[in-house]
Structure 1
C-alpha cells in the first residue's frame, strides 16, 4: 500500500490575470491581503500576496497558451464566463470567513461590486458571493473561526 502524504497543508492559491497589478490591488483593498516578495520570472509577471501566515495568493500574468504549446497540441477555449453572482458555479470559488460580515458586505456595495447574499438553513450562517475583476468567484461567510 502506498504511503499517504504527511503534514499536508495548502501552500497557495493561484489566479491568472491579464492585469496582475489591478487584481493585486483588488485583493489588497477588499480583503486585506499584503504584498510580499515575489520571485522574478523572465517570461511573465507575478505578484505574491499574503493574508495571515497561512493564506498566500499567487497572481500570474495570463499568457496565450497556444503560443507556448508543442506543435499539434491545442487547448479548448474556456467555458463561458458567469458574471451574475446568483449563479456562481458551486465548484468555482474561494471562500473566506470574516468577523465583521455586515460591514464587509456594505463595503462591497459601496465599491459597486455586484453581490448575492443568502442565509443557510441553520439561520446563523450568512454568505455573500461576488467576483474579482477577472471573474474568479469569491464567497465570504459570517464565520468568525
Structure 2
C-alpha cells in the first residue's frame, strides 16, 4: 500500500563547513535556522553513498545524503518495502516516538521515511 499522507521532513547533505552552508541557504532561499537535535559527536563518512566503503548500504544513510519524508501509515509503508524486497535499515529516534526506515531508490538516492510523532 502506498503512503496515505506524505510530507517532506528534511534533506540531509554533508558539509565541510556547516555554518557557511547554513548561511548560504538562509541568504539565498530565506530559510530559517531551527534547533538541531543533539546526536552527539560523529565523523562524516566518505564514499558515494556516505559509507565508509563504496557500497550502497542503507545502514550508512542516517548520517549521509538522503531525503526524509514522513508518513502517517508507517507500518503499512514498511510492509510495502518488505513486500517489494527493498533492502532497509530501521531504527527509532532516541527519546522520541518516531520510527525511521532508510533505503535507496532505483537510482541509488538515499531515502528516509519516518513515522509521524504521536501527539504532534
TM superposition score normalised by structure 1:
0.43
**Could you say which structure has the greater relative contact order, defined with CA pairs below 8 angstroms and 6 or more residues apart?**
2
Contact 2:74 2:114 in 1 (8 A): yes
Q: Which runs of 5+ in 2 are unaligned?
A: 9-46
Gaps of 5+ in 1: 1-28, 33-50, 55-77
1:58-78: per-residue Cα shift (whole Å, max 9, x none)?
Answer: xxxxxxxxxxxxxxxxxxxx8
Which residue pairs with 2:68 in the alignment? 95
CA contact (8 A) 2:3 2:72 kept: no
Give deviations 1:3-25, integer Å, cap 9, x for gaps.
Answer: xxxxxxxxxxxxxxxxxxxxxxx
4+ residue stretches of structure 1 with deviation over 2 A?
A: 29-32, 78-82
What does 1:1-145 align with in structure 2 at a 5 Å threshold?
79=48, 81-88=54-61, 90-143=63-116
RMSD: 3.0
TM-score, reference length from structure 2: 0.52
Report the count of equivalent residues.
Answer: 75
